[in-house]
Structure 1
Amino acid sequence: MHPVTLEGVTYSYGSGELRRAVLRDVSLTVAEGEIVLLTGPSGSGKTTLLTLIGALRAMQQGSARVLGRELQGASEAARVALRRRIGFIFQAHNLLGFLSARQNVAMALETEAKLPERQRLAEADRMLAAVGLAEHLHKAPGQLSGGQRQRVAVARALVASPGLVLADEPTAALDKASGQEVVRQLRDLARSRGVAILLVTHDPRILDIADRVVSMEDGRIVSANRPAEGPAA
């Protein structure tokens, strides 16, 4: 079973004369352990698609099966439960400035009621070491560079062993070296766990981490290729 299977997904904003379609009959699968990049111009529907897959908004038309759960017609409670099984990484890393790096990562495990705090912190320390931040566990986000903050976000997204990672422009605010390091860490950790990644990006510098690059335009998928391939015929 694929972590993500979309069939005929259509989504619009507004109503009446102001109604505007942002996704048009989108079908896509993402396999276990696969890294898929979503590219395309601003307004092509990439982020809207990511938020639907992430159960952050309700479906309108079509089918979306994510980690075995059908999202069409799913209740808010079902979508909340699914979100707990997904790791999210955003352009603005969304770290809490008054917590240390390890506390920010450990927060992702707070829904695991059986885990005592000591174990949550130990898991956070392990993940931060895996992204090269073992020497920065107790630093607040403001004491870290942009690349380091985004690596904390990677650790937070993966610490709870999600079945899927969704990332929205995670390298947009980073320089080339920092951006490539962040996605390399994400790729290596996700592949070692067999986790699928769907990553929205405008950054051509990271295309080589992908198994597939899916291009969107005007709410539709217009091509899906391996990075070394040319445009689809």
Structure 2
Amino acid sequence: MKDHTCCISSFFKHLSGKAESRCAKIVDVAHRLFLDKGYENVSMNDIVKESGGSLSTLYKHFGNKSQLLIYVLEQKSEELFGEWGRQSANYEGRLEAFLMMIGTSYLDILVEDDAILFNRLAASLGYLEETKSINEKFLHVMMRPVTMVAEYLEHEKECGRIEVEDTMLCAHQFLSSLEEPFMFPRILGVETDVSEALRMKALKQIVTIFCRGIGVSKES
């Protein structure tokens, strides 16, 4: 299976310790501001004011604001989903266990308030002229969890352990089915039960449906 190395992690490796620390602080501050205020309402000056340093340093390392956004998303994607790729080899031939691991992690992320803020941020980017040039890169980064699940499914398919026509579509459907009960109502501000008990109930039911649907009997 593929080694998913985050581009910004490689970028940090070329920096000195002080510069790396400075850039990491910039990424964290930008992430928080983008979520809390929205991309269009945050300036490079706002980021420098919160993170320290100078505008020249910010532009030197990250270019413009849209490029900084991509760096931020790559870093946060690695933090949230990097472990999926590192763990996937431990689940060969264990589809149900893999989906339970992925699903538990994904639901833990979805029920955080930041997940709502991120969905609002993502929706706003499609309407901004400034970000049109990076939307394909943005989509590529945001597809990372889907791609990781799809690569696991493709490996299992190649080994003859599952039967599914389109592994990327299947991965999309699995993750989307986890989102639906917990995301949309909360985006609208409707109070929603996101308790661990309900999350596990939903996850177990979805995993059972998927395992049966792609020709794998439930593990003992």
Query: TM-score, length-normalised on structure 1?
Result: 0.28
Structure (1/2) with the larger strand percentage:
1
> Which structure exhibits the higher relative contact order, with contacts defined as CA atoms closer than 8 Å and separated by 6 or more residues?
1
Structure (1/2) with the larger helix percentage:
2
Of the two, which has the highest radius of gyration?
2
Query: TM-score, length-normalised on structure 2?
Result: 0.29
